[in-house]
Amino acid sequence: MLILALDTATDKGSLALVAADRLLGELTLPSQGAYLTRLLPGVQALLGQTGRRLTDLGAIAVSTGPGNFTGLRIGLATAKGLAWSLGRPLVAVPTMEVLAAQFPYQTQPIGVLLDAKRNELFWGLFTCLEDQPRALEEPARLPVAALPPRLRPPLMLTGPGLKVYGDFLKDLLPPGTSLAPPEMCSPRAATLARLARRRLLEGRIAAPEQLVPIYLRPAL
Return the amino acid letter for 102: Q
Return the amino acid letter for 218: P
Torsion of CA 165, 113, 60, 53, to 10 degrees: 40
Cα angle at 189 between 197 and 50, to 5 degrees?
Answer: 85
Q: Is 170 exposed, middle or buried (0-12, 13-18, 19+ CB in 10 A)?
A: exposed
Cα angle at 128 between 157 and 169, to 5 degrees?
Answer: 10
Q: What is the pTM of this model?
A: 0.95
**What residues contact 48, with CB distance under 8 A and at least 6 apart?**
none
Residues 151-175, mean pLDDT to the nearest whole number:
93
Extended beta strands in 20-158, E state = 22-29, 59-63, 90-93, 106-117, 120-128, 134-135, 140-143, 155-158
The three-state secondary structure class of 211 is coil
Determine the pLDDT at residue 154: 96
How confident is the model over 103-127, as pLDDT tens digits? 999 999 999 999 999 899 999 999 9
The span from the CA of 27 to the CA of 45, in Å, is 9
Q: 32 falls in which pLDDT band (50, 70, 90)?
A: low
Domains and CATH numbers, the chain: 2-94+187-201 (3.30.420.40), 96-184 (3.30.420.40)
